[in-house]
Amino acid sequence: MTTKTLHGQEQQSSLPSEVMQTLALLQRRLGHSSDISIRKLNWPEDSSPFAIVCHLNGLVDDKEVNQMISNINQYVIAKRENDGMSVESLLQEVLPGKLKAIRDEEAMVQAVLDGRTVVLIDGLDTAMAASLLGGERRSVEEPTSQTVIRGSKEGFTEDISTNIALIRRKIRSADLRFEDRIIGRVTRTRVSVGYIQGIANPNVVQEVFARLDAIDTDSILESSYIEEFIQDSELTPFPTMINTERPDAVAGNLLEGQVAILVDGTPFVLILPVTFFRFFLSSEDYYQRYDISTFLRLIRLFSFFVALLLPSTYIAVTTFQQEMIPTTLLISLAAQREGTPLPALAEALLMELTFEVIREAGVRMPRVVGPAISIVGALVLGQAAVQAGLVSAAMVIIVSFTAIANFVIPYFSMSSAVRIIRFGFMILAGTFGLYGILAGVIPLLVHLVALRSFGIPYFLPASPLSFSNMKDVFLRIPWPKAKYRPDYVSEINKRRQSDSSGENPKEKLGD
């Protein structure tokens, strides 16, 4: 059977013109699930329906559905008395712009599952899908995982359309593009790729689409699924993509030529490609003075080395290289360790594992008592361990400062990698001393240098060395001097602002 489109062209349709037959097809595919609403509209003088409205409860706006049903009633009665019904007049007169014609069974079933309202009209072999999305959704709130003192307080939600709108509000450019993919044979998850045409590297964009198209899986429930499918290397603890729930962070990275991946159902957006040093930059760095931001960046880098190497260094110098410790401090440490039965390595492993358990318990427990349990547990267990003679007081200080330094790293994925690698360095230090630490640092650096993020060297600008990209890594130069974007992401449209923006207006007034 065929039907005419709005442009007068004939298109093959696989749906029957009898409304009850079409409903039978729909029920055969969807079963008799309790959340499917089927509303039949009957003729006044007959019990047979002239139209059927189908949708999933909780995914539509009930008020708009009721209004659409009222419009359909008026339309069908009027057309029955006059010139009959047609697809063209139905699309034009009943909620113009919100209805879409559907001509095959698969598209009709998918429309219902996507949350649209499907309208079946008796005598027409074409179904209508209305976008009347509604239901309960979380409002835009402040991000919980990345808080700032100064800057935007908006955070992404679980609705991908809302997230795209939040980015659009910050980048009002016609060059901002969002292209969708449907991934997951069962979940049918909407995945959107965002980039700025003319700034983003086209090769990187095409590579992202190629990797997304190669995914063949049943389900995509969170952006971490996408991250593991498309990452360059699976054999690394270091993240090669940034995940953030801040729209301003995504907008800033898009303006530098990077690509964003949004996944429906999660507030965390992926940003790629990235480098190692990008994980020590915070959105707040660009909202404060450049000198304060530079100081904070150096603090974060220092905290990274502390979180990674402080426990292992303490184990090494107290076990093998005691001559490196000042005499007074060495006597104090020896007095503390005189009554402890465990070696330094066992002490450190015991305290680190205890702290990891306390931290995980604080995360899993109810929000009201979680922080209290974490703080009280750490204090009580630490004090009790020292008094019981299981560990020394210096070891408690080392582990506590290491844990605090670990929280300074802005991105949780990078801090998690540090937590894992730290245990390896502790074992090497307890076995070979400082030589063991060196034996661990060298292959770690080799691994970082060899790592790639969508073809971009992960350890840029340190390796390969690039002085032009050092301006926004260890230091944050003033905005009037930041005329160029980092060229390691994209060499297209590298200039961010004109030369005149760096001129001093006070000097002009003095002239």
What is the per-residue pLDDT for 479? 87
- Among 283, 253, 266, which residue's Cα sits nearest to residue 167? 253
What is the per-residue pLDDT for 5? 38
Cα–Cα distance between 241 and 230 in angstroms, integer? Answer: 10
Starting at the edge strand found earlier in the chain, the sheet holding 259-263 runs: 176-183, 189-196, 259-263, 269-272, 242-244
What are the domain boundaries of the chain? Answer: 2-130, 160-274, 290-457
Over the chain (511 residues), the average pLDDT of each successive run of 10 is: 39 76 89 88 77 90 86 75 64 70 90 90 85 83 86 92 95 95 94 95 95 96 96 93 95 94 96 94 91 94 96 94 89 84 91 86 71 65 77 88 92 94 96 95 96 93 84 86 83 79 50 46
In the chain, what is the greatest distance between 2 CA atoms, to the nearest angstrom?
105
What is the per-residue pLDDT for 198? 92
What is the per-residue pLDDT for 369? 62
What is the per-residue pLDDT for 239? 96
What is the per-residue pLDDT for 7? 38
What is the per-residue pLDDT for 510? 47
Give the residue carrying structure tokens 């059927």: 52
DSSP bridge pairs for 243 = 270
Inter-residue contact 199 to 175 (CB < 8 Å): yes
What is the per-residue pLDDT for 144? 83
Q: Give 85-129 as a 3 state SS string.
A: CCHHHHHHHCCCCCEEEECCHHHHHHHHHCCCEEEEECCCCCEEE
